[in-house]
Amino acid sequence: MRPVVCERCAATVLVRKGSWHQTSIQWDGAAMDACEERRSTVTVAGERSGTRLETCGRLRDTVRRAALDGVIDVPDPGAGDQEDTL
């Protein structure tokens, strides 16, 4: 897994691409706290809302760019649609 820093909030996550259509992301506590989209799911009382955020749109864009730029290895770079990277 490779560290990837979100271009919006600087949250650092670990990313592995199994293919252009499969992405694994590991979030630690610091990354979850830094992510603006994840923080927006916390209510005023500090409780997480019922909405489960699977990923962050800006992080998805960052991971896509990293894959296209070769920062993240993609095992089958010639297969599939490279537009769908997360």
Residues 6+ apart with CB under 8 A from 16: 1, 2, 23, 24, 72
**Under a CB-based contact definition with an 8 Å cutoff, are residues 18 and 25 in contact?**
no
Closest CA to 14 of 33, 36, 31: 31
pLDDT tier for residue 55 given thresholds of 50, 70 and 90? confident
pLDDT of residue 37: 86
Residue 85 has pLDDT above 60, yes or no: no
pLDDT of residue 40: 75
Residue 14 has pLDDT above 50, yes or no: yes
Span between the terminal Cα atoms of the chain, in Å: 15
| pTM for the structure as a whole | 0.74
